[in-house]
Copies of this chain bind each other. A is one copy, B any other.
Amino acid sequence: MSVKTTQSSSEDESLPNAQHAQHAQNAQHAQDTRDTLRNRKRAATRLSIRRAAIELGLRHGHENVTVEMICTASSVSQRTFFNYFGNKEGAYVSPRRPLPTAKQHRDFIEGGGTSVFGGLFGLISTTFIEAETDLELFQARHRLIHQTPGLLEREKAKISETEEIFVGYILERFRHDGRSTTETPDLEDEAHIVVALVSGALRFALQKWAAGNFTANRESLMQTTAELIQHITANEHWP
């Protein structure tokens, strides 16, 4: 058989080492969120590595920073670094956002009164905005990533990974609304495009938000985004 055990392909965000979970039958994503010493330490280590990486990257440029430097700066062994992040870039790019809760998910699919846009916007913006608590780090990371093409590429990839999830949600919503894939073969394409539209608009709204001084609340952000989309899709330039 010789099955490849190269599972952790690129960016893991999970525990550094779950190999000993023998009797963890099918615990899957049963994240242990208790406030235990071990968990606190893990979070601290992860954060410490991230900070070191970004600070060094900002000071010397990502290309000129070695993993060894990051490890020294964060007092951790190289092996541990890779246990946490899998690859060098992992320490630079944004952490995986927490997925919407089961309730948020359900609410969106059943669409209680909200439009697809409204629901999707809510979902995406909570996912993308509210997760970040450390503004300082967030901004530093943002600066570094946007001045380093290779990192920007990774970041985009990570984002589109998340977007795939929303595509799935939209399909569920469509199905809930009675639209089936058999009847509309382009349904999946449609979902993809809707996500691209919303997150595209949102991305630039966010950029504005980040460039400004993080004023503006969610409502006005949504307002801006909606207007932009309206304007674009409503007007001239279509065949």
Contacts and interface: CB of A to CB of B under 8 A. Distances in A.
Interface stretch (A51-59, A65-73, A123-131, A189-197): A189-197
Copies of this chain, complex-wide, total 2
Interface residues of A, number: 42
A79 interface: no
A181 B204 CA distance: 15
A99 interface: no
Nearest to A224: B186
A230 B238 CA distance: 8
Interface stretch (A22-30, A38-46, A148-156): A148-156
A205 B236 CA distance: 23
Interface string A119-152: 0000000000000000000000000000001100
Contacts of A200: 192-193, 196-197
B6 A193 contact: no
Among the interface residues A61, A234, A238, which one has the most CB atoms of the partner chain B within 10 A? A238
